[in-house]
Amino acid sequence: MADTGNGAGMLAGRTILVTGCASGIGRETAGTIRRLGGRVVGVDRNEATGIVDDFVRGDLSTREGVDALVAALPHGLNGLANIAGLPPTAPAAEVVAVNLVGLKYFTEQMIDRLADGAAIVNLASLAGFGWPQAVGQIRAAAELDFDGIDAFIAAHGITNEGGRSYFFTKEALVVWTMQNRWTWRDRGIRMNAVSPGPVETPILPDFMKTLGERAAENRRVMDRPGRPDDIAPVVAFLMSDMAKWIRGANIPVDGGMSAHFLCGMHGL
């Protein structure tokens, strides 16, 4: 049995795929998994050799990119951390392609390459907090594929205004995670999400720029922005056997911000 007393060896013997491993939260998560005894296969569109045990360059924004990537990846993986993502300053269609459509398609293609008992963790966001108000748009996107993105965002007014493209992808990702609570239960494959508040990575200034006064208000309430090392251990925990009965959950890691919003919404 793994020694979980201080976390050392918690992921021993596991090989975990981390997308977005070249930067920010993905990079930190790769390092954390390795420190806990795991082996990391990293994926990114940017070079990340030296950060992970094996690196496979890939692009999650197109079907062809995902297909080529999947073909290059090994079988028998014990975990999949879907961390690659784009901020709301990227074109809206690309944000939807990478953060939602590509992530879902990639995950579905990877199921056969996962070992029984594997864990999947999706990096959502505090930006997905408002999903109950977006159920109509989320339902409409259930079968969205790469070819339909332009028409979908035009029909639903999903632009970068106020960060909507980004918020929508994270809302839909939280819901998709819940919906797949038992999809692969017969193989013991679990899926969960982690929702950070603002984290100091290269994309934080993009959020601040897009969100304007909303972001400034959050900064006044928060004690500090998050750091990648606030998030990575939670992903690692969800990858471990210690989390084996957690399924379809969305874990906020936000310094209390989602609790603050909930209390405010309910007058508490």
CA quadruple 245, 238, 108, 188: dihedral, nearest 10: -30
Q: Is 59 in the site for ligand NAD (CB under 6 A)?
A: yes
Q: Is 196 in the site for ligand NAD (CB under 6 A)?
A: yes
Give the interface segment with ligand NAD, choosing from 54-62, 139-147, 150-158, 235-243 (CB under 6 A): 54-62
Window 235 to 254, contacts with ligand NAD (CB under 6 A): none
The CA distance from 21 to 202, in Å, is: 13
The CA distance from 46 to 29, in Å, is: 16
185 exposure class (CB count in 10 Å sphere: 0-12, 13-18, 19+): exposed
Q: Is 84 in the site for ligand NAD (CB under 6 A)?
A: yes
Give the interface segment with ligand NAD, choosing from 9-17, 81-89, 139-147, 177-185 (CB under 6 A): 81-89
The CA distance from 97 to 75, in Å, is: 25
Task: Lay out the site mask for ligand NAD across 118-157 (x = CB under 6 A, - = otherwise).
Answer: -----x-x--------------------------------
Strand partners, 252: 195
Which tokens is 151 given? 């028409």
Task: Centre a 10 Å sphere on the Cβ of residue 97 and count the other Cβ atoms it contains.
Answer: 26
Window 14 to 53, contacts with ligand NAD (CB under 6 A): 20, 22-26, 44-46
Window 203 to 222, contacts with ligand NAD (CB under 6 A): 203-204, 207
Name the site residues for ligand NAD (rule: CB under 6 A).
20, 22-26, 44-46, 58-61, 83-86, 98, 123, 125, 196, 198-199, 201-204, 207
